[in-house]
A and B are shown apart, each in its own frame.
Chain A
Amino acid sequence: MTEGAEAHQVHPAPGRALHAYLLGRLEFDHLLALQRRLVYDVAGDRDAGAVILCDHPPGVTIGREGSRVHVRPRPEELTSRGWPVRWVSRGGGVLLHLPGQVACYPLIALDRLGLTPGEYLHELQAIVLDLLRAYDLPAEADPVRPGVRVKGRRIAHVGVAVRDWVSCFGIVLNVHPDLEPFYDVHCDGDPLPMTSVQRESPARVRVAGVRQKLVELVAARFRFDRVSVFHAHPGLVSRSPFPPGSAGGGLKHAVPTRTR
Chain B
Amino acid sequence: MPICVPELGSPRAVLSLWYVRPGDRVSEGDRVAEVLIPGATFDVTAPASGVLGDRFVLPTDPVATGQTLGMIEEAAPGSRPGLRTNVPPGE
B41: contacting residue among A3, A6, A91, A118, CB under 8 A: A91
Total number of residue pairs linking A and B with CB closer than 8 Å: 80
Residue A201 CB within 8 A of the other chain: no
B6: contacting residue among A3, A159, A161, A163, CB under 8 A: A3
Known: A2-B9, A3-B7, A5-B7. A146 touches B39 (CB 8 A): yes
The total of chain A residues at the interface (CB under 8 A) is: 29
- Are A144 and B38 in contact, CB atoms less than 8 angstroms apart? yes
Q: A4-B6, A90-B41 are in contact. List 8 more A-B contacts (CB 8 A).
A: A2-B7, A89-B41, A91-B39, A115-B9, A116-B9, A146-B39, A160-B40, A162-B43
Known: A4-B65, A64-B16, A89-B34. A160 touches B9 (CB 8 A): no
Residues of A within 8 A of B34 (CB): 89
- Point out residues on B near A: beta carbons under 8 Å: 6-10, 16, 29, 31, 34, 36-43, 45, 65-66
For the complex formed, measure the closest distance between the CB of B19 and the CB atoms of chain A, giving whole angstroms.
Answer: 11
For the complex formed, measure the closest distance between the CB of B79 and the CB atoms of chain A, giving whole angstroms.
Answer: 24
Residue A117 CB within 8 A of the other chain: yes
For the complex formed, measure the closest distance between the CB of A36 and the CB atoms of chain B, giving whole angstroms.
Answer: 13
Residue A184 CB within 8 A of the other chain: no
Residue A136 CB within 8 A of the other chain: no
Known: A4-B6, A4-B7. A163 touches B31 (CB 8 A): yes
**CA separation between A118 and B13, bound complex, in Å?**
10
Residues of A within 8 A of B7 (CB): 2-6, 116
- Are B41 and A162 in contact, CB atoms less than 8 angstroms apart? yes
| A117 to B, closest residue via Cβ | B40
**CA separation between A146 and B12, bound complex, in Å?**
13
Which residues of chain A (142-156) have a CB below 8 Å from chain B? 144-146
- Are B43 and A65 in contact, CB atoms less than 8 angstroms apart? no
- Are B37 and A164 in contact, CB atoms less than 8 angstroms apart? no
- Are B65 and A65 in contact, CB atoms less than 8 angstroms apart? no
Known: A4-B7, A116-B9, A118-B9. A91 touches B43 (CB 8 A): no
Residues of A within 8 A of B36 (CB): 64-65, 91
For the complex formed, measure the closest distance between the CB of B32 and the CB atoms of chain A, giving whole angstroms.
Answer: 12
For the complex formed, measure the closest distance between the CB of B82 and the CB atoms of chain A, giving whole angstroms.
Answer: 19
| B42 to A, closest residue via Cβ | A162
- Are B6 and A121 in contact, CB atoms less than 8 angstroms apart? no
Q: Could you give, for residues 89-124 of chain A, a 1 whenever the CB lies within 8 Å of some chain B CB and a 0 otherwise?
A: 111100000000000000000000001111111000
Residues of B within 8 A of A65 (CB): 36, 38-39
Residue A158 CB within 8 A of the other chain: yes
- Are A161 and B40 in contact, CB atoms less than 8 angstroms apart? yes
Residues of B within 8 A of A116 (CB): 6-10
For the complex formed, measure the closest distance between the CB of A175 and the CB atoms of chain B, giving whole angstroms.
Answer: 21
